[in-house]
């Protein structure tokens, strides 16, 4: 469900007509421009979408007589439309506002041009309607790579994240990461608003990262590019690890396969620098440079 007031606030819209139906059961992030409906064609009318009236539609309405305009709009608003958005700060005809009040349909207005508003609205609805899931971990922006640190409680995720923040990297979310799939191959992670910019450090308690390290130490959201699972290694675990890095592992979240690396935890290991190197190495692999495969090819050729 899309909340009308949240939609209005996010897109900076002025409300011209309010409605008691303040939640919309939208199934797609697309919008509809009702030019064909104003001309009388309703066979494929996407009435369940937000309706956008731009300069073309408004000019057509302005050229109609008052009676004809009322007839057009009355039939148009007889459908269960979620809302009407008027772009370019255009002045709507009085019949539009009167009939919207009668049919209890929200009418908003924006100074944005139609194309710009459409892009912004689709982006917002895409985020709201995307599949969501919550995961335990810490999400950071490390050299432009979204790194999700996972592992059991007490393994050292917060300490590693704190050291990375001190090195100039950014915190997105600590402990609880809200993940949404915005495309078939892309995940975005954010932090719940109530705990945004906060971290829990064992033995110290909750700290405000933004207040302590500055606004540059935090960011609102980040793509999840790499998952690093911190594991407590035993004396016989070294044989199970891929020492060269030829085998690519993935972890599936919401149907998206994300590269995953297991990092064994041992006394004396500097986790922060390991995460930094993993992020840089991921960027190189994405650019087509894979040191492990280049080394393997050298041995095969020789």
Task: Provide the annotated active-site residues.
Answer: 136, 157, 175, 243
3-state secondary structure of 51: strand
Task: Please give the helix or strand (H or E) that residue 274 lies within, else none.
Answer: helix 271-286
| Three-class secondary structure of residue 181 per DSSP | strand
CA dihedral 270, 276, 281, 284 (to 10 degrees): -160
For CA atoms 277, 280, 283, 288, give the dihedral sign.
negative
CB neighbours of 77 closer than 8 A, spacing ≥ 6? 99, 100, 102, 103, 105
Tell me the helix, strand and coil percentages in the chain, rounded to 5.
35, 30, 35
Q: How many CB atoms lie within 10 A of CB 242?
A: 12
Report the run of H or E that residue 275 belongs to, with start and end: helix 271-286
Q: Which two tokens stand for residue 129?
A: 């309607």
Helix axis angle for 157-166 and 271-286, nearest 10°, is 70
Query: What span, in angstroms and rounded, lies between the C-alpha atoms of 87 and 100?
Result: 17
Cα 49 to Cα 159: distance, rounded to the nearest angstrom: 47
DSSP secondary structure string for all residues of 189-217: EE--GGGTTEEEETTTEEEEHHHHH-GGG
């Amino acid at each position: 469900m899309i909340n009308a007031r949240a939609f209005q606030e996010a897109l900076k819209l002025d409300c011209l007509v309010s409605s008691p139906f303040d939640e919309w059961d939208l199934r797609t992030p697309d919008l509809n421009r009702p030019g064909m409906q104003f001309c009388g064609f309703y066979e494929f009318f996407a009435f369940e979408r937000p309706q956008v009236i731009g300069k073309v539609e408004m000019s057509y309405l302005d050229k109609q007589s008052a009676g004809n305009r009322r007839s057009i709009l009355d039939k148009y608003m007889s459908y269960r439309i979620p809302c009407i958005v008027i772009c370019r700060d255009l002045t709507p005809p009085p019949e539009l506002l009167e009939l919207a009040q009668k049919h209890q349909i929200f009418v908003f207005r924006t100074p944005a041009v139609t194309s710009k508003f459409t892009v912004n609205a689709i982006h917002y609805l895409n985020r709201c309607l995307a599949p969501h899931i919550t995961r335990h971990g810490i999400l950071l922006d490390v050299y432009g790579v979204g790194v999700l640190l996972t592992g059991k409680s007490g393994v050292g995720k917060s300490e590693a994240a704190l050291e990375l923040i001190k090195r100039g990297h950014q915190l997105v979310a600590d402990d609880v990461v809200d993940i949404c799939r915005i495309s078939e191959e892309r995940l975005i992670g954010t932090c719940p608003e109530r705990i945004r910019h906060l971290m829990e450090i064992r033995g110290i308690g909750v700290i405000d990262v933004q207040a302590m390290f500055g606004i540059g130490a935090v960011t609102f959201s980040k793509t999840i590019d790499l998952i690093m699972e911190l594991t407590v290694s035993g004396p016989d675990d070294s044989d199970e690890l891929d020492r060269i890095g030829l085998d690519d592992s993935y972890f599936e979240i919401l149907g998206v396969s994300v590269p995953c690396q297991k990092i064994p935890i041992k006394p004396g290991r500097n986790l922060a620098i390991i995460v930094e190197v993993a992020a840089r190495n991921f960027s190189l692999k994405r650019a087509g440079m894979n040191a492990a495969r280049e080394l393997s090819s050298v041995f095969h050729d020789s």
